[in-house]
Structure 1
Amino acid sequence: MRIAVTGSIATDHLMVFPGRFTDQLVQDQLDHVSLSFLVDQLEVRRGGVAANIAFGMGSLGMNPALVGAVGADFDDYRAWLERHGVDTRSVHVSTERHTARFLCTTDQAQNQIASFYAGAMTEARNIELAPVADRLGGLDLVVVAPNDPEAMVRHTEECRQRGFAFAADPSQQLATLTPEAVKSLVEGASYLFTNEYESSLLLKHTGWTTEDVLDRVGSWVTTLGPDGVRISGRQHDPVVVPAPQEKEKADPTGVGDAFRAGFLFGLRHKLGLERSAQVGCMLATITLETVGTQEYALDRATFSDRIARTYGEEAAAEIEPRLRV
C-alpha cells in the first residue's frame, strides 16, 4: 500500500521563563508593551503533523512518502526522518524561506506566549501529487493533514480529479478554514480523522449533522482521549476501542499524530478497523509516555506484550507478525 502523507513539517522551540509574565506587566502601560524575558531553558524538537505521522509509520516498519515544504535548513531533520524509514524525496525545499517554526515561552504559572512562523509551509500549495504517484508507481491513499490551508484544499481537489483515495485530517486548521473549505476537505474522504472537540467544531462550521457527515465519508475516526477511539461508517458496524493504560503522562503533544500512524499501519497490513485502531491507540499511548513527538523508540516484544495485555492474545497474534521494529 503506497501512502503519501501531506501536511506540516516544523520544529518546535520551547523555552521556560523562571518567573511570571504578569509580574512584568504595568497595568496602565498595557497599550505600550515592550518586554524581553531572559529564559533559562530551551528545547528544540522535531515536529509538524505530517512529519510526526510519517515518523510513526516509519518506526513501525513502513516507508511512507512525506509531502510538504521546508527550508534549506532541513538537512539534519531530513537525515533523521530517513533514518527512521521515511521517504523524503517528495519534500519541496524553498529557496526563500526557512522551515516552519513554533516558538513558545512558558512561565512558572504555565502561562504561555507563542508565535508560529509558517515560512516554507506556504509553498506547499505549489506541490502536485501526480509526480509523487508517478515516482511510487501509484498512490493507494493520500493523507491530507494540517498544512497551509490552500495546500490542503488543492491536494484534496487533485485527489478527486486523479482518483486517489484520501484521508481528511483538518484538525488544527478547522478554526481557520472557511465552512466551504471544510466541506471541500471532507467530501468523499475514505477516512475522516477528528477528536471529539473537532467533531463538534466541524458540525458547527459546516451546518451538517452527524448523519450528513457519514453520508459523505467512508469511515469517521474520532479519537476520545483516555477513552480511546470510535469509528463510524455507513458500510460497517461501529467500532469502539479503549486506550491502553499509560505508565505516565509525560507529554500529550503529538498523541493524535501517533494514533494516525498506527491506524495507517493497520490499514497497510489489512488488519481491519478494530485491529488498526488498537495499533493506533498503543502507539499514541507510547507517545504520551515520552517527552517529544518523535523521541520514542519501539521494541517489538514490548509492543506486542502490551497489545496482548490490553486487547488480548488473539490481537497480539495478528499484529505482531506485521511489526518491523
Structure 2
Amino acid sequence: MRIAVTGSIATDHLMVFPGRFTEQLIEGQLERVSLSFLADRLEVHRGGVAANIAFGLGLLGCDPLLVGAAGTDFAEYDAWLRAAGVDTCAVRVSDTLHTARFVCTTDADQNQIATFYAGAMAEAAGIDLAESASHAGPLALVLVGADDPAAMLRHTATAHRLGIPVAADPSQQLARLDREQARALVEGATWLFTNAYEAALLLERTGWSQEDLLERAGTWITTLGADGVTLARSGTPRLHIPAVPTARTADPTGAGDAFRAGFLAGLAWQWPPEQAARLGCALATTVLESVGTQEYKLLAADLIARIGQTYGDDAARAAEPRLAGVS
C-alpha cells in the first residue's frame, strides 16, 4: 500500500524558555501584547509536517511519496530524506525561495508559541498530484497535511477525482481556512486527524456538529497528548487508546506527526485501526524523548517493548512480525 504525504517541508528553529508563558500575561492587558522570552537553548532541525510524517513512514519501511515544495537550500535535506527511505521525486524545488521556516518556543509547562514562514511552500499549489502519481505508481492513500491552502484544496480534489482515499490533516492551517474551504478538505475523507484544540476549531470553521462531521467523513482520530487518542466513527462507540507513557519528555514538537506516521504504517500493513493507533502512540513517545522532529532512532525491540508494556503481550506479539525488520 503506497501512501503519498502532502504538506509542508520546513526547517525548525526550536527554543526553550525556562519559565511559564502564562505568568507573563497580565489580565486586562491582553489587547496589546508585546513580550520577549529569553530562551536558554536553540536547536535547528529539519521539519515540516509532511516531511516529518514521511520520515517516520520511511524508517518503518513503507516507501512513502513526499509531495510538497522546498527551496533552493533543499539539497542536503533531500539527501537526508532519501537516506531514510522517503521518495522525494514529487518535491517541487523553487528557483528563488528558501524552504519554509518554523520558529517555536516551548515553556516549562510544554506550552508552545510558534511562527511559520511559508517561503517555497507558497509554490505548492503548482504541484499536480495526478502527474506525481503517474510517475510514482499507484497510490492507495493520500494524506493532505498543512500546506499552502490552495495546494491542500487542489490535492484533495485531485485525490477524490482519481478515486484515491484521503486522510485529511488540516492542523495548523485551520486558522487560515474559511467555512467552504474547511468543509471541502474534510468532506469525503476516509480518515480525519486533529488534536483536541483543532477538533473544536474544525467544528467552528465548518459550522457542523460532531455528528454532522462524522456523517461526512470516515474515522476521526483526535490526539490528546498524554491522554492518548480517540477514534470516532458515526454509529459506533468512540474508541480510546491510552498513550505510551514516558518519564523523560524532551520536546513535544513532532509527536503528533510521529503518531500519524505510525498509524499510517499500520494501515499500510492492513492492521485494524486500534492496532495502528497503538503503534502511532509508541512512535509519538519515541519522538517526545528527543529534541527535533527527525532526530530519533527506531529499534524494533524498543517499539515492541513499549507496545507490550502499555497494551499487553498480545498486542506486542501482533505487532512483532512487521516491526521485526525495523532498524
RMSD over aligned Cα, in angstroms?
Answer: 2.9
Is the deviation greater in 183-192 or in 305-314?
Answer: 305-314
2:240 and 2:107 mapped to 1: Cα distance? 39
Match of 2:167 in 1: 167
Identify if the C-alpha distance between structure 1 residues 267 and 105 changes in structure 2 by more than 3 Å, giving closer, same or farther.
Answer: closer
Q: Which residue of 2 aligns with 1:140?
A: 140
Q: 1:150 — aligned with what?
A: 150
Q: Which residue of 2 aligns with 1:308?
A: 308
**What corresponds to 1:220 in structure 2?**
220
Higher Cα radius of gyration:
1
Say if 1:237 and 1:306 are closer, same or farther in 2 by CA, change over 3 A. same
Q: Out of 194-203 and 238-247, give the one that drifted further.
A: 238-247
Q: Which residue of 1 aligns with 2:22?
A: none
The count of residues paired between Structure 1 and Structure 2 equals 316
- Corresponding residue number in structure 1 for 2:79: 79
Residue 174 of structure 1: SS of its match in structure 2? helix
**Residue in structure 1 matched with residue 181 of structure 2 by the alignment:** 181
Alignment-derived partner of residue 191 in structure 2: 191
Q: What pairs with 1:52-63 in structure 2 (closer than 5 Å)?
A: 52-63=52-63
* Residues 122-133 of structure 1: pairs in structure 2 closer than 5 A: 122-133=122-133
1:175-227 per-residue CA deviation (whole Å, 9 max, x = no partner) reads: 11111100000000000001111111111111101110111111111111111
Q: Distance in 1 between matches of 2:214 and 2:321?
A: 33
| Cα offset, 1:113, TM superposition | 8.2
User: 1:77, 1:94 → 2: CA distance?
Assistant: 14
Q: Give the Cα–Cα distance (whole angstroms) in 1 for the partners of residues 4 and 287 of structure 2.
A: 22
Q: Distance in 1 between matches of 2:302 and 2:174?
A: 36
Matched-pair contact (CA < 8 Å) for 2:5–2:144: yes
Equivalent AA in structure 2 for residue 291 of structure 1: V
Matched, 1:262 2:274: no
User: Percentage identity across aligned positions?
Assistant: 60
Mapped partners of 1:110, 1:216: distance in 2: 34
What is the identity, as a one-letter code, of the residue corresponding to 2:257? D
Q: What is the rounded CA distance, in whole Å, between the counterparts of 2:119 and 2:106 in structure 1?
A: 23
Could you tell me how far 1:277 is from its partner in structure 2?
0.4
Say if 2:320 is the partner of 1:320: yes
| Secondary structure at 2:153 match in 1 | helix
- Letter of the aligned partner of 1:101 in structure 2? R
Q: CA separation in 1, counterparts of 2:113 and 2:264? A: 34
* Secondary structure of the structure 2 residue equivalent to 1:73: coil
Q: Quick one: distance in 1 between partners of 2:309 and 2:109?
A: 38
115-124 or 214-223, larger mean C-alpha shift: 115-124
CA contact (8 A) 1:69 1:91 kept: yes
Matched residue type, 1:116: F
Describe the SS at the equivalent of 2:74: helix
Q: 1:248: Cα distance to partner?
A: 1.3
8 Å Cα contact 1:239-1:273 kept in structure 2 = no
Which residue identity does 2:252 align to in structure 1?
P
Which residue in the other structure is 2:24 paired with? none
2:43–2:292: 8 Å Cα contact kept in structure 1?
no
Inter-partner Cα distance in structure 2 for 1:120 and 1:56: 23
**Aligned-residue offset at 1:252:** 0.5
Q: Given residue 93 of structure 1, which amino acid in structure 2 is its aligned partner?
A: V
Residue correspondence of structure 1 range 4-153 to structure 2 within 5 A: 4-14=4-14, 42-103=42-103, 115-153=115-153
Distance change in 2, residues 1:314/1:104 (3 Å): closer
Amino acid at match of 1:149: P
2:43 aligned counterpart, secondary structure: strand
Aligned with 1:122: secondary structure?
helix
* Displacement of 1:286: 0.9
Whether contact under 8 Å (2:2, 2:62) holds in the other structure is: no
Q: What is the match of residue 288 of structure 1?
A: 288
Paired residue secondary structure (2:251): coil
- Find the aligned partners of 2:254 and 2:110 in 1 and give their Cα distance: 19
Q: State the shift of 1:114 in Å.
A: 6.0
SS in 1 for 2:101: strand
Partner of 1:272: 272
Q: Which residue of 2 aligns with 1:233?
A: 233
User: Does the residue aligned with 1:147 lie in a helix, a strand or coil?
Assistant: coil
Q: TM-score, normalised by structure 2?
A: 0.88
Go from structure 1 to structure 2 and tell me whether the alpha carbon gap of 1:305 and 1:208 turns closer, same or farther (over 3 Å shift). Answer: same
Q: Which residue of 2 aligns with 1:25?
A: none
Offset of 1:237 from its aligned partner?
Answer: 4.7
Moved more, 88-97 or 110-119: 110-119
Q: Provide the rounded CA distance (Å) in 2 between the counterparts of 1:62 and 1:253.
A: 23
CA distance in 2 between partners of 1:10 and 1:169 (Å): 17
**Contact preservation (8 Å) 1:8, 1:50:** yes
1:85-111 Cα shifts (integer Å, max 9, x gaps): 111111010111111112457899999
* 1:52 Cα deviation from its structure 2 partner: 0.5
Counterparts of 2:43 and 2:266, CA distance in 1: 33
CA–CA distance in 2 between the matches of 1:303 and 1:242? 15
